[in-house]
A and B are shown apart, each in its own frame.
Chain A
Amino acid sequence: MVVTYLNLIIQGVLLGGLYAIFALGLSLSVGVMRFVNIAHGDFIVLVSFLLLTIATALHINVLLALVLMIPVAFGGGWLLQRVLLQRVIGPNVLLPLLVTFGLSIIVQNGLLQGFGADTRTLSAGSLDTASLHIGGFYVGLLPVLTFALAVALVVGFDWLLYRSRIGASIRAVADDVAAADLIGLSSVRVYAIAMGIVGVTVAIAACFMGLRMNFDATSGPSRLLVAFEVVVLGGLGSLRGTLLGGIILGIAQTIGGQIDGAWQVLAGHLVFLVIFLLRPQGLLPRY
């Protein structure tokens, strides 16, 4: 019994790593840039399809395809911000919501058109099924690697945001856009770089989500919901909180799924609601 639950918690923590990777980009855009991207989940699914296409067309491992994808994703985020999202950023918070909601619909229907409604998954060869035997527990190598990557990303992005010069200018623009422009710190340029960074997190999330779970053209909104819950649980603006939020959601879903298969998703939402009621500012809020 104890062993079973310990095992579930380990699985839940590892799943939480994946959720944290999902939520990292949203945490940056909502928590730091104060801008809600409804299409975040759809962008992740879009890049999963792109990775699948690249890996198949070039006959390369999907992890190698991810390496090729990262600069493209940075450029994509940069361009999206510069060409489209920059026009709607401002005091009216409804505009970016509406525009990204529209983007979400466009991406979903574009994917349906281009790739059909079939469910897909990514494969990284033998890594998919490799497992480790640690202290009486069997854990998949992929989930362990995903979790390690989640921790590394949280530490890395935390450094980027709170210790580096570009991070300081992103937070400066988030603090006061008008002041930044007044003294000659171009908010347009800073926002574009920040969105490029979000693009990189989207590409990484797309790869590891696709390796772990099935996806189809319309899976975006459910990914968005998970990402939102993780960000809010953890506290806005805190990347460590995002990791913690992911872990809590992962454990809740795994234990819920053990009680009854139908409870997996519901248990996650219930735990989210309870914590949200008790601590609406999140577990590790920065603001």
Chain B
Amino acid sequence: MAVSSSAEVPLLSIEGLSVYYQQFRALHGIDIAVGQGEIVSIIGANGAGKSSLLKAIVSQVDRIEGRIQFAGANIANQPTPAIVASGIALVPEGRRLFPSLTVEENLEIGWQIGRKGSGVKLSEVFDLFPVLREKRRQPAWQLSGGQQQMVALGRALLADPRLLLCDEISLGLAPTIVNDLYTLLLSINQRGIGIVLVEQDIRRSLAIANRFYCLLEGRISLSGKPSDFDRDTITRHYFGS
């Protein structure tokens, strides 16, 4: 499915993207495409530019060069709220919930920022994460790390995205909870939502990805289908040895 759709006009297409933070250049002219309903994994060591890539897509970096096309429209340098409202939702690194808001209020923020006429209902998110239904009235800071990650994911889903950007969603979570989250990602993907997964833990993210890009010091060192490469090759391009 993923292969045939990526042959058409991709959902997200990035060409020659460079990202700058003042004098520092975090990405050096990279090309990336994500097809409709495709899961694309972005792997790379700490500081390789993975988070910069996601932040550049939603216009949250100092300065970029290059083209970013989403669903046929240019979104480079558009304001973040407009990009999110056009159908790209970010699950940020560290979850970034609003601690004093209740679980339900945090989720409803997703409605406010998302595509207008969003068809996703709160009850659907509670069906995906039943534990959140019980805790809907509790402030977000009282939740465990895994539950907070579910809220962050639910908030992004309520924005009714066509493309979901996940930044290190397994960081700091117990392995069983990470398994649950990845199972959920697959069911989210089955709704036709494209997913970009940024992870340092490559084993899990490569297991569910249709394609991957490996970043090394701001450049793409390897890309393709996970099954096309053996572990050693990927590790070599990951660390650049």
Contacts and interface: CB of A to CB of B under 8 A. Distances in A.
Contacts of A182: 55, 58, 60, 80, 90, 92, 96
B100 A184 contact: no
Contacts of B90: 182-184
A155 B216 CA distance: 56
A184 B85 contact: yes
Interface stretch (B11-19, B107-115, B121-129, B205-213): B107-115
A168 B60 contact: no
Contacts of B108: 165, 168
B84 interface: yes
Contact of A185 (B60, B81, B97): B81
Interface stretch (A17-25, A170-178, A267-275): A170-178
Residue among B79, B96, B106 facing the most chain A CB atoms (10 A cut-off): B96
B198 interface: no
Contacts of A171: 98, 100-101, 105
B81 A168 contact: no
For chain B, give the interface size range.
20 to 34
Interface of A is mostly: helix
B80 A184 contact: yes
Nearest to A189: B81
A167 B149 CA distance: 23
B85 to A, nearest CB: 7
A176 B96 contact: yes
Given A183-B84, A183-B109, A175 B58 contact: no
A175 B106 CA distance: 11
B100 A183 contact: no
Interface string A185-217: 110010000000000000000000000000000
Contacts of B101: 168, 171-172, 175
B37 to A, nearest CB: 22
A180 to B, nearest CB: 8
B41 to A, nearest CB: 21
Contacts of B58: 182, 184
A169 interface: yes
Contacts of B96: 176, 178-179, 182-183
B98 A184 contact: no
A178 B111 CA distance: 19
Among A168, A172, A183, A287, max chain B CB count under 10 A is at A183
B92 A175 contact: no
A169 B109 contact: yes
Given A185-B109, A185-B113, A179 B98 contact: yes
7 contacts: A171-B100, A174-B100, A175-B100, A176-B96, A184-B85, A184-B90, A186-B81
Per CB-CB distance, the 7 closest pairs between chain A and chain B, nearest first, are: A184-B84, A179-B96, A172-B98, A175-B98, A184-B113, A168-B105, A186-B81
Given A165-B112, A179-B97, 17 more contacts: A169-B109, A172-B101, A175-B99, A175-B101, A179-B92, A180-B98, A182-B58, A182-B92, A183-B92, A183-B96, A183-B109, A184-B81, A184-B113, A185-B81, A185-B109, A185-B113, A189-B81
